[in-house]
Amino acid sequence: MNYTIFSATQLLLDKLAEDFLLLSQKETVSHISLSGGSTPILLFKYLANSPYAQKINWQKLHFWWGDERCVAATDSESNFGQCKQFLFDQIIIPAENIHRIRGENSPQQEAIRYAQEIRNYIDSVNGIPQFDWILLGVGNDGHTASLFPGQTNYQDAHLTFVATQPQSGQLRVSKTAGLIENSRRITYLVLGENKADIIHKINSEKAGSERYPAGKIKAKAGLTQWYLDSGSAMLLIEEKSDEC
């Protein structure tokens, strides 16, 4: 696990914001996939309420999602909805740069439509569209996007699929492992002590283990990094100090 532990969450947010800025200064547009859940809200708020809101050239960034819950965009569970509320409503960004998964549509049809939208905008490498950067979170069970332990097909040749959240039965449209793994860069963003146990478990798995999708899914020909705060890295830090 290629991880960086940030001693303060603010340092981690600054690093991410700086990377958004650098991408936005390139000649060509960059395609960034955002994660859902509770973790990225801090990042959205920071981008919207810091000097980065003005400094970043939002025209050059296109936003996508790793997964979406099959609910209306106005629902509090909507990944797009929370990003809209905390980021897009606070900055000036062209509407055509925002590629949301339409959670209100029929899930199967939306998975097909979203895959086509990805193909329409993003160049392929080895026959698979290549995102510039995919940001991901990790659930306490080791899921990422909507790729859940025990029900992830790592060989799925599609770009998107319909997943079922194992506890609630909620349907979600998600990128497949294969699409994520074709990204130039993958960053897992993990904050808080409540993630310490899963981070420790993922880090203790053997290379190639399929037990936790978040541990298994890596950029095949790119960079995979884990950005951790001291809370989520707590058990890794303890282990290290035990060794001394």
Ligand X SMILES: O=C1O[C@H](COP(=O)(O)O)[C@@H](O)[C@H](O)[C@H]1O
The CB-nearest residue to ligand X is 37
Q: How far is the CB of 185 from ligand X (least distance, A)?
A: 15
Measured in whole angstroms, the distance separating CA 179 from the mean position of its chain's CA atoms is: 12
Look at the chain and count its residues: 244
**Shortest Å, Cβ 144 to ligand X:** 5
| Interface with ligand X (CB under 6 A) | 35-39, 66-67, 136-139, 144-145
**Residue closer to ligand X, measured from CB, 52 or 80:** 80
Instruction: Give the rounded distance of the alpha carbon of 165 from its chain centre.
Output: 17
Which residue number, 17 or 180, has a Cβ lying nearer to ligand X?
180
Q: Which CB atom, from 139 or from 215, has the smaller least distance to ligand X?
A: 139
Residue with smaller CB distance to ligand X, 107 or 137: 137
Q: How far apart (Å, rounded) are the C-alpha atoms in residues 216 and 229?
A: 21
Q: How far apart are CA 172 and CA 155, in angstroms?
A: 19
Q: How many other CB atoms sit within 10 Å of the CB of residue 94?
A: 10
Q: How far apart are CA 101 and CA 79, in angstroms?
A: 9
User: Rounded to the nearest whole angstrom, what is the least distance from the CB of residue 80 to ligand X in the complex?
Assistant: 11
Q: Which is nearer to ligand X, 139 or 222 (CB)?
A: 139
Least distance (Å) between residue 60 CB and ligand X: 23
At its nearest, how many Å lie between ligand X and the CB of residue 14?
20
Q: For ligand X, which is the closer residue by CB, 5 or 60?
A: 5
Least distance CB 139 / ligand X (angstroms): 4
